[in-house]
Structure 1
Amino acid sequence: MNNRNYLYFFIFSILKIFSSPLFAQDIPVNSWRAHLNYSNAHSVAIADNEVFSASTNALFSYEKESGIISTITKDDGLSDTNILTLGYAAPTDQLVVLYSNGNIDFITESEIVNMRTLLNSNYPDKVFYGLRMEQQFMYVCASFGVVKINTTDYVIEETYDFIGQNGSENAVYDISFSEDSIYIASAEGIKRVADDEDTNKQDFNNWETVVSSSPNNITTLLYTEDGLYFTDLADSQVKKRTYSSTQVILDFDSDVYLLDLWGENITLPTSNNIKVIDANDNVSTWEDEKSPSPRQILDDEDNIAWIADEINGLVRVNNNTIESYAPAGPLYPTAHEIIHAEDQIFLTPAEDNNLSVGSFSVFNDGQWTNYTSLERSNAEEIPQTAPMLGLAFMPAERKVYFATQGDGIMTFHIDDHTTEIIKDPFLVEGRTEAVINSLAIDQWGNLWTTTQGWLHFRDPAGEWQHFRDSNISSAAVQMENSLQGDVWMILGNQRLLTFKDGDSRFLDTDQTNGGLPSNTTLSLSLDNNGSMWIGTDDGTAEYFGTSPTEVGEFSVSLPRYDGFPLLKGEKVQAIAIDGGNRKWLGTGRGLWLFSSDGGRLYQQFTTDNSPLLSNNIITMDIQPVSGELFIGTQEGIISYRSDATTSSGKFENVKVFPSPVRPEYQGVLTISGLVTDASVKITDTAGNLVWDGQSFGGSTSWNLRLNNGQKPATGIYFIFSTDNDGNEKYVGKFAIVR
């Protein structure tokens, strides 16, 4: 646009300026937010006025007086994921977070101190089992022994390693203390050592065997004035040791966890209740539907019990009043697949969550809603099916389709939440179960799926067709439709198969038969130009052309970056295409953002330079309107809002975020709802140009800096945008407050 036209556009557009709304569910561009499971709690710690609860990948606190719940994430300074257990050091007023790899965070109101000594120690095959607090000291139990850490200065005071017979390594599962001794539950049984300055506790000769046992048999113990209580997993009993005699206190028939105290009583959480042992060794059972899966129980100075429950999060028991607390989040920690359905995000849980029935989670308007047939206080009920894995959205029907592991397909209407089970079409060859792993919906509204030996196709009229194909050795784990009318499938053996009009063809590394980087295919995604992007365990490939079943010899193209095939040597496990047709590639070593052709690297995220929960990316999808990328990692789900969104040939629902820009805001200004690859100019009220840029797809962002690096002054600023031909125009305004 020349200067005269630009001035004309400025003058005659000024009367049409309006302020863009701010949506609370949005997060700023280039920022992250975690989507963690807080309800699968396994650990609890009690401070003076706060109670802390942890699940495997999430941590939150409950303030007793105010009832305020606060989450604590990597974005707040946590150094790791995969929390093993919690502790509280009262003398130093610190929450202790022990991770499964031995990493430790010490948390106060003002800081988080990270201690990586155990993480970086050179013990072979390190395994950590838990911790116990004793005054200002924390005792970490591990496969090599016990580590005593002073929480006042974060110094390891002693390490009790190689304390097994004849100085051998001896795993320690739990630890307890009397006035003059330390007791451990170890691979060799219960051992005792005098706890005084004259005893060398690092000398195995000073450790006395109290109860002999085989490894993994006695896993928790608790010393009291009445005796030493411990679990005997071989006999499924809790036993009590006094002097030289042992008696049976109770029998159990399920998994058991950590022995502890509730007032004067001893408690033992089991899979679905808590066994309570009183001062006379009488046994009772505490159970309640609000705590169906207790994992740890502690009590505070008011004799109120706090339970970490694997289903309902943090549970408070005050006499007959029982309440549960947990921030909203997905029902399970990790995801198998993530998709968007208009402005909603749907996900199915990963198989490593020990699934028993179909469940899924939905993110909408900044909130998570969970759906399952299990009895859950934080979930909506759906019909019971086998576990769900793959899913797809049918826009014309406004339904999400779920692939189940035995019950065919379940549909879910995104407006009225009605459901339907579709099973009969898949019961071919006398089958009684319909195991489906993935689904695909093509540009014409046809539904595609597979069962072992069969490809199933349903047209928009509801008519099914079934194709017998011996190449489909198992239900495909991922499917994608091309614009040429064929369907691409990754089978359970990670081979890539294409199908069209009754014919199928495997692609492999042979240059006449695809020329893939590897025969191990891990991911597929169709980009905005109709190219099929293929992720393998040795980088990426791209194909655009006639269906492979309709040609003779052919080869895919290998995108190149920095002179080499794109991400050669990397496992490309997930691919997402943003509104600017850029390629988000999730690998086993982090997240990468490349240009549309893969030739330019824009960003690379790992756990070292971002809040990313794990470098092992499993699944991804983008909410196209906001540009927020939802990332399923091995350690949980997190999202990142990029600066690219979907676009059209018109300016629609243009949003400016944030407006006004307040003094404390440190992010970028984002403009979304623009036409494809729009020209964008920002001026002050005098008409001076302060920024000139272009959109990625339908969005762009400004770093709120002038050309000289200075921040713009307080005032009203104008946005002028046009498409490439100058036919579509938009004008808006926003405010900056300094």
Structure 2
Amino acid sequence: MKIRLLFLLLFTSLASSQDFSSQWTGLFSFTRIIDIEQTDERIYAASENAVFVYDILSRTFTKITTVNGLSGDPISQIYYRESDDQLVIGYEDGLLQIVQDDVVLDIVAIRDKQVINPDRKRINEFKANDQLLYIATDFGIAIYDLDRLEFNDTYFIGDNGAQLRIKSIEIFDGFLYAASSGDGIRRADISDPFLIDFTNWSQTNMGSYDEVVALDSQIYAIDTAGALFRFAATSFVSTGYRFPSRSVDATVTNNQLTVTGSNFLQIIDVNENLLNDVRDINGDAYVFTAGDSNGDTIYIGTTTNGLVRLDRADFSTAEFIVADGPSRNRAFSLTTAPNTLWVGYGDYNLFFNPFPLEQFGVSRLVEEEWTNFTFDEVLNINSISSITIHPEIQDEVYINSMHNGVLEFVDGMAETLYGVNNSSLTSILPPATDFVRIPDSRFDREGNLWVLASLVDETLNRRSPTGQWTAIDVSQFVPTISETGGATKMTITNAGNIIFGTIDFGVIAFDPAENKFGDLREDIQEGNLVSNYVSEVTLDLNEQLWIGSNRGLRVLFNANSILSENPPDARPIIIEDQNGIPRELLKDEAILDIEVDGNNRKWVATASSGAFLFSPSGQETIFQFTKDNSPLPSNGVNDIAIDNTTGRVYFATDNGIVAFQGDRTSQPAEDLENVFAFPNPVKPGFDGNVTIDGLTDRARIKITDIEGNLVFEVVSQGGSVQWDTTSFNGNRVASGVYMLLISTDDNVETTVSKIMIIR
């Protein structure tokens, strides 16, 4: 078994990860630090699944994320080799990645080998010895040659060659030491060519140890109780020094040992004298994750506030160093306005139960700058499910909580929390004032805010523009709606009809003008839904209703028809697979979100298969983004949001947010009064697309030169089109004035505009 594993590690091929930075942007959180490496000029800080490099002199950041080729999986350790500018990243799943010359190399030998149990692959520590990198793992010790970019030896050092969880390793005085959790400390002569033989390793100590580290002319160990041991002759013996709690990190710089625990950082010298003792930052307690010192400076990683820099002589000068980003990676919901993204961090399970409650506030991205609002700043509301932006007032948003109701949030400040005492909202456990579960809310065309409440009879609530609340009792249509029919997502038709999904009763529609209900269920001639569990309802630009469930997709070609006497059944979309066999689109996929862009294309988030982009009819799959072919850090996509102003498409996952730069599109206009093109004029050096905006749906655009020769023609599929300034033959058009001749689909309305191009 040992020989077979060694052979597999030695001859595993090396691959380069793809760089996606031309079309993608990573929007990761850097608040939780996992590990720190430093040089005199730079700090390398690993967060959960990304890395930032901080230039000490210029105080600037460089981010390395999935967009650059990182895997997106949890990082456990990093090492920086300054002589060759190599950053080595170790992961909890055993993957190694080397960042060098702006290329990310994947070393998958440990991660992909089935002979190592999945729970034994974690990378715990690196120790360099010239070009050889010794790697402490949960199965033993692996050695990687950083010059040749290949594995060397692998050591299983437990009794009879058993796998040991090696937490820390050190090379000292000709010996290789290995500290394990539960099996003590072992050592071997590093010059012995047969270290793959477990009998050449001797056990110096029993017990559980977190660290083994050399300091000047001594080698020390720290056990899991925080006690410090020094090696004497044949074993480690207690020094009598004890750290305040268990160690999570230990480093040596300038003959001083820095030990970090979750609630302390201490620095001792070669005589075990305490030089520095950090327990808090300016009186506030933080959870520490990593630590290091360099001359007069201490660097501490935290779980919530990134990296902290302290002056060793004056702790009051604390400086927080964290690359710009959201407050956390686990993003649950996304909402956009022009050039703005809002992020919510709540959560709920399959049955829309929010417990255990999440308490993480919200984040806002405006013009590439993040503002993170804390739990206190959103009035301590729990489990934020979604955020609704006022269609006319971009700075007025409504934050929906699955426990506390709806918070009106204006200009970055909490205004009013609407709940049991000041609105028509009700609790699922009256007379309690909490347990007010709001999964979604939407504005209609009259400015009414419709609020969807789960597991109560008053499922629909309307807040008028003047602030008056009205409850609609849905139990008159579905008597058990408060028992098993938890509401999920909602949408509103142009006619003002409210449509929402449930977890047990399919789709329900309500006509406020007629006080009338309708529904779709899973049985044929009752709706033909794929399931009565409906997770998403979305209207496209033609008012077709796209219905997502835990088992697939259905489309109702006239959303308002739900309220008719005999509503038609929803239909599956039938496509042909690669073998020409008909099948249902997204059959058996758990659909979490459906978004429609300005060209009426459908972006679909799934629980396990990534994200899809479909043509307006769904017949053509334009993209399927997964963890393997894109920077998505997970195949579970919780939500999608589209900023049609910029063309950015945002994807929320439990492992972070990424954005894809799609075509800039906009919603179709009702007429051609506001047609414009930009940039205009097109100046020398511009090699992008000209956008023609303000179009009606299916408008015909003809572009001619000044003499009337047709050079380009297109029909819009939304409110805008792109022109790459080439003619029908594919050549770029010459300098000059070009005419835009635009007509509506029915030819009732026309307009003329001009574009000047300067080459």
TM-score with structure 2 length normalisation?
0.81
Partner residue in 2 for 1:463: 469
Pick closer, same or farther for the CA change 1:251–1:45 going to 2, 3 Å: closer
Deviation at 1:293, TM superposition (A): 3.5
Equivalent residues of 2:333, 2:345 under 8 A apart: yes
Equivalent residues of 2:561, 2:568 under 8 A apart: no
- Three-state SS of the structure 2 residue aligned to 1:229 is strand
Counterpart among 160, 165, 170 of residue 176 in structure 1? 170
* Separation (CA, whole Å) in 2 of partners of 1:705 and 1:550: 49
Q: Deviations over 1:412-459 (max 9, x none)?
A: 12x463421122243462114234241222525242232433425134
Partner residue in 1 for 2:9: none
1:367 partner letter: E
* Separation (CA, whole Å) in 2 of partners of 1:62 and 1:526: 45
Partner residue in 1 for 2:570: 556
Pick closer, same or farther for the CA change 1:546–1:652 going to 2, 3 Å: closer
Pick closer, same or farther for the CA change 1:117–1:453 going to 2, 3 Å: same
Moved more, 481-490 or 401-410: 481-490
Partner residue in 2 for 1:240: 229
Partner residue in 2 for 1:363: 365
Deviation at 1:317, TM superposition (A): 3.1
Equivalent residues of 1:511, 1:554 under 8 A apart: no
Q: Which segments of 5 or more consecutive residues in structure 1 lack a partner in the other structure?
A: 1-27, 375-380
Q: Does 1:488 align with 2:477?
A: no
Q: Does 1:105 align with 2:58?
A: no
Partner residue in 1 for 2:5: none
Partner residue in 2 for 1:733: 755
Q: Deviations over 1:460-484 (max 9, x none)?
A: 1522326365333479473213437
Matches within 5 A, 1:531-546: 531-543=544-556, 544-545=558-559
Equivalent residues of 1:450, 1:475 under 8 A apart: no
1:240 partner letter: F
2:538 partner letter: S
Counterpart among 554, 560, 571 of residue 590 in structure 2? 571
Partner residue in 1 for 2:456: 453
Counterpart among 254, 262, 273 of residue 271 in structure 1? 262
2:367 partner letter: D
* Separation (CA, whole Å) in 2 of partners of 1:109 and 1:48: 20
Q: Does 1:583 align with 2:575?
A: no
Partner residue in 2 for 1:434: 435
* Separation (CA, whole Å) in 2 of partners of 1:682 and 1:732: 9
Partner residue in 2 for 1:25: none
- Three-state SS of the structure 1 residue aligned to 2:67 is helix
* Separation (CA, whole Å) in 1 of partners of 2:487 and 2:95: 35
Equivalent residues of 2:176, 2:190 under 8 A apart: no
* Separation (CA, whole Å) in 1 of partners of 2:733 and 2:635: 37
- Three-state SS of the structure 1 residue aligned to 2:430 is helix
Counterpart among 153, 159, 162 of residue 154 in structure 2? 159
* Separation (CA, whole Å) in 2 of partners of 1:675 and 1:721: 10
Matches within 5 A, 1:20-35: 31-35=23-27
Deviation at 1:308, TM superposition (A): 2.9
Q: Which segments of 5 or more consecutive residues in structure 2 lack a partner in the other structure?
A: 1-19, 349-353, 577-581
Deviation at 1:230, TM superposition (A): 1.6
Q: Does 1:677 align with 2:698?
A: yes
* Separation (CA, whole Å) in 2 of partners of 1:218 and 1:658: 68
Q: Does 1:530 align with 2:543?
A: yes
Deviation at 1:393, TM superposition (A): 2.9
Equivalent residues of 2:174, 2:191 under 8 A apart: no
Pick closer, same or farther for the CA change 1:481–1:442 going to 2, 3 Å: farther
Pick closer, same or farther for the CA change 1:220–1:387 going to 2, 3 Å: farther
Structure number with greater CO (CA < 8 Å, separation at least 6) is 1
* Separation (CA, whole Å) in 2 of partners of 1:117 and 1:528: 49
* Separation (CA, whole Å) in 1 of partners of 2:480 and 2:127: 60
Matches within 5 A, 1:39-50: 39-47=31-39, 49-50=41-42
Deviation at 1:265, TM superposition (A): 3.3
Partner residue in 1 for 2:304: 311
Equivalent residues of 2:94, 2:110 under 8 A apart: yes
Equivalent residues of 2:681, 2:756 under 8 A apart: yes
* Separation (CA, whole Å) in 2 of partners of 1:661 and 1:611: 33
- Three-state SS of the structure 1 residue aligned to 2:323 is coil
Pick closer, same or farther for the CA change 1:459–1:681 going to 2, 3 Å: same
Equivalent residues of 1:517, 1:538 under 8 A apart: yes
- Three-state SS of the structure 2 residue aligned to 1:392 is strand
Deviation at 1:591, TM superposition (A): 2.2
- Three-state SS of the structure 1 residue aligned to 2:194 is coil
Partner residue in 2 for 1:13: none
Q: Does 1:92 align with 2:84?
A: yes
Equivalent residues of 2:221, 2:230 under 8 A apart: yes
Counterpart among 489, 507, 510 of residue 523 in structure 2? 510
* Separation (CA, whole Å) in 2 of partners of 1:62 and 1:511: 61
Equivalent residues of 1:262, 1:303 under 8 A apart: no
1:699 partner letter: S
2:42 partner letter: E
Q: CA RMSD in A?
A: 3.5
Moved more, 542-551 or 452-461: 542-551
Partner residue in 1 for 2:47: 55
2:571 partner letter: S
Partner residue in 1 for 2:623: 603
Matches within 5 A, 1:114-263: 114-122=106-114, 123-125=116-118, 126-134=120-128, 135-161=130-156, 163-213=157-207, 218-224=209-215, 225-232=217-224, 236-243=225-232, 244=235, 245-250=237-242, 252=244, 256-263=247-254
Q: Deviations over 1:339-380 (max 9, x none)?
A: 224553211025499975351111222322211146xxxxxx
Pick closer, same or farther for the CA change 1:586–1:456 going to 2, 3 Å: closer
Deviation at 1:569, TM superposition (A): 3.5
1:364 partner letter: V
* Separation (CA, whole Å) in 1 of partners of 2:213 and 2:569: 66
* Separation (CA, whole Å) in 2 of partners of 1:115 and 1:668: 39
2:259 partner letter: L
Moved more, 442-451 or 579-588: 442-451
- Three-state SS of the structure 1 residue aligned to 2:199 is helix
Deviation at 1:295, TM superposition (A): 1.6
Matches within 5 A, 1:609-628: 609-628=629-648
Partner residue in 1 for 2:400: 403
* Separation (CA, whole Å) in 2 of partners of 1:221 and 1:458: 64
Partner residue in 1 for 2:17: none
Deviation at 1:503, TM superposition (A): 9.1
Deviation at 1:205, TM superposition (A): 1.7
Pick closer, same or farther for the CA change 1:30–1:142 going to 2, 3 Å: closer
